[in-house]
Amino acid sequence: MVCGDCKKVFERKGWRSSTGVDRKVWQCSERYKVKGVMGCANRHVEEKTLIKAYLMAWNVLVENREDFMEQWTEQLQSKNLLEGYRAEKFIEYTDGAEPLTEMDTDFMLKTLDHIKVFEDGTLAVMFLDGTETECKNEEE
C-alpha cells in the first residue's frame, strides 16, 4: 500500500466503533506522524475495499488475457531475467483461469506489487508484471 499523495507507505490499523464493531483499515503512515497533528490528508481505506479492488483488477487480467499476451511474450524475450520470469508466471497463472471470487492471500503475494491510494478514492493496482489497473473507491 502506497500513498498516491505523499508516496509513503500505508499502515494497517484496527478500529473499533462506539458500538463495538471492529474494522481493519489502511491509513497513510504520515497522516498522524506527530500525535494530534494531521500530516498527509489522504483518506483511509477499508481492508475489504482493497480486497475487492485486487479481485476486480486480477479478473480484468484473466478476462482480457489475450490483450496482455503480446506484452508478456515481449517480456519473455527481455534481457531482464526477472521481467521474463514474471511474464512466464502471468501466462501460466492466467491460462484457463476462472475469475476469482474470494481472496487467496498466497496467490495475491505472488502477483501483486502494490496498490496506490489517491485522495479522490482512486485505487491503482500494480501487478508484478508491470500491468496497472485503476478502480474507483466509492465507499467512505
The 10s digit of each residue's pLDDT in 63-77 is 999 999 999 999 999
Average pLDDT over residues 83-99: 96
Mean pLDDT score of the chain: 91
| Alpha-carbon gap, residue 11 to 25, rounded angstroms | 8
CA–CA separation, 115 vs 104, rounded Å?
Answer: 16
Q: How sure is the predictor about 89, in pLDDT bands with cuts at 50, 70 and 90?
A: very high
Report residue 140's pLDDT band, with 50, 70 and 90 as the boundaries: very low
C-alpha cell at 70: 503480446
pTM confidence score: 0.87
d(CA 97, CA 90): 11
pLDDT at residue 36 tops 80: no
